Structure 1
Amino acid sequence: MTEFPEGTPCWVDAMFSDLEGAKHFYGDVLGWTFGESAGEYGNYTQAYSEGKAVAAVVPPMPGAEGQSAWCLYLASRDAAATAEKVKAAGGELLMEPMQVGDFGTMALAKEPSGAVLGVWQAGRHQGFEKRGEPGSYVWAEIFTRDPDKTDAFLPKVFPYKVQKMADEHIDFKVFRIGDNANPALGRMKMGEDFPPDMTSYVNVYFAVADCDAAVKRAVDRGAKLQFGPMDTPYGRFAAITDPQGANFSVIDMRKTEGEMPQMQDA
């Protein structure tokens, strides 16, 4: 399995009060199958696409019921060192580095504008076995109300190079790892179209073979369509809130429209 460079998105999971309901929903919408729940790890249950690990679902921890959200994990070679960088850069450590058997070591952090990010130091579990294909993770963006704080924080914790979209009407940046042609993560400023009580969060995109069909399956199963479907140079996508309140997006990357936006060093 491929080792993920420092700062690369390497895994996603989410807590659901109705675990069986979540499994049925994402099984229907994204075609996932699920492994056996690991009782010794709080019934952590891996999701698979074509037999390859792509995500996980888990019941909520005590006190966190009703707070379903997808959590993005960024790869770290030393979770303890990354945790110290988080604190030094003005972030908040929600969970100190914790070893999860021989699978690896995890930590949870909140960047200064409020979005929650996971940190994963791989052991036996490296992370995604499939990505960028239908049924798997493809992209994530931090939606923030205070982009200056987010922009200052991320490069202090991970070895990112920052670029911004050359469009004065959109406040959007991407974070690249070294000279990697593919950006690791995006950052979008939340505008007036977002509900005023909505805090900063990470929006995870899953690839699908047909965006409109995926949206219909989701809505038919109780999800709320928040935006789209919309054609973009990156693909046709839509933003969805699942029946338990977790936000995510689906994108058909094979159906593109328009020219790629120009990016410039920030």
Structure 2
Amino acid sequence: MTQSDESFIWYELMTPDPDAAARFYGAVIGWAIAAHSDPGAPGGVDYRMIVRGDGSHAGGVLRLGAEMIAGGAHPGWLGYLYAADVDAAVDAIVADGGAVHMGAHDLPVGRMAMVSDPQGAVFYLMNPIPPAGKEKRVSGVFSMTEAQHIRWNELAAPDPDAAIAFYKKHFGWEQEGGVDMGEMGQYHFVQKGQEGVGAVMPMTPETPAPGWYYYIGVDDIDRAVAAVTSEGGALLHDPMQIPGGEFSVVGSDPQGAIFGLVGPRKG
């Protein structure tokens, strides 16, 4: 993970059982999750890397310990947004009504903080330290087209217009295009420069809380859906066709972390 002009530079699964997560996401996505904590993880933290089939990292897995759970942490996926100055970004977000959940601090991989936007969507801020000799390499965890990458970032917000204004101001995003969802309102596409980031949509009655939801690319949506149920996960709805001809679905893993899948139907 290195400095990048991309908005999302890393993704993290928080779970009480990384070994179970490895079995589940291995079957559904094709990822390999390390059997042991990364040697570079801070002392006492069980943090494992997610490896794609091409050998590159797709993100990380943080084991939720009893103390974290007692403090309110729960299974879920979180994204990391790039910030050149983490401390200044935290101050600006708080000044606009956001909140700090973990103050800015240094790790061997960079400086980071955990915050939420004014409507409660939680995310990390990070300015990563590039590995020696790879200072110009950019993050490759997000791709709008490739399987085993996060392909879409979707924000469910009580006030989508306010959310769009917030991310425009703090991260330089743009908003162009969208889909009319009828009574559910507008589905707004958001971009960073010429690249798509994802979308902002109104919360629905089924949405548990304001937040970012991440869609993982799969090679075959029907194969992946079958693996979700056979491996102990659950589907929140049936696969739906999306613009472009592919299909998407939202589900939860056996520990309760919500995720999305997107990919072609090959059957």
Contact 2:120–2:211 (CA<8 Å) still a contact in 1? yes
- Give the counterpart letter for 1:185 in structure 2: G
Match of 1:248 in 2: 259
- Give the counterpart letter for 2:37 in structure 1: S
Unaligned runs of 5+ in 2: 132-136
1:65-105 CA-to-partner distances (Å, cap 9, x unmatched) read 6710100111111211211221122111111112111x111
Match of 1:43 in 2: 46
Unaligned runs of 5+ in 1: 257-266
Alignment pair present for 1:210 and 2:210: no
Contact 1:53–1:128 (CA<8 Å) still a contact in 2? no
- Give the counterpart letter for 2:257 in structure 1: A
- Report how far residue 33 of structure 1 moved: 1.1
Q: Normalising to structure 1: TM-score of the pair? A: 0.85
Match of 1:145 in 2: 158
1:128-159 CA-to-partner distances (Å, cap 9, x unmatched) read 43543211211111112232432332122111
Matches within 5 A, 1:50-199: 50=53, 51-61=55-65, 62-64=67-69, 67-101=74-108, 103-124=109-130, 128-132=139-143, 133-165=146-178, 167=180, 169=182, 170-178=185-193, 180=194, 182-192=195-205, 194=206, 198-199=208-209
Evaluate the alpha carbon distance shift between residue 210 and residue 23 of structure 1 in structure 2; reply closer, same or farther with a 3 A threshold.
same
Q: For structure 1, which segment, 123-132 or 133-142, has the greater mean C-alpha deviation from structure 2 after superposition? A: 123-132
- Count the aligned residue pairs: 248
- Report how far residue 11 of structure 1 moved: 0.8
- Aligned alpha-carbon RMSD (Å): 2.3
Distance 1:223 1:127 in 2: 33
Distance 1:203 1:247 in 2: 7
Contact 1:175–1:185 (CA<8 Å) still a contact in 2? yes
- Report how far residue 173 of structure 1 moved: 1.6
Contact 1:134–1:206 (CA<8 Å) still a contact in 2? yes
Match of 1:232 in 2: 242
Distance 1:130 1:120 in 2: 15
Evaluate the alpha carbon distance shift between residue 183 and residue 236 of structure 1 in structure 2; reply closer, same or farther with a 3 A threshold.
same
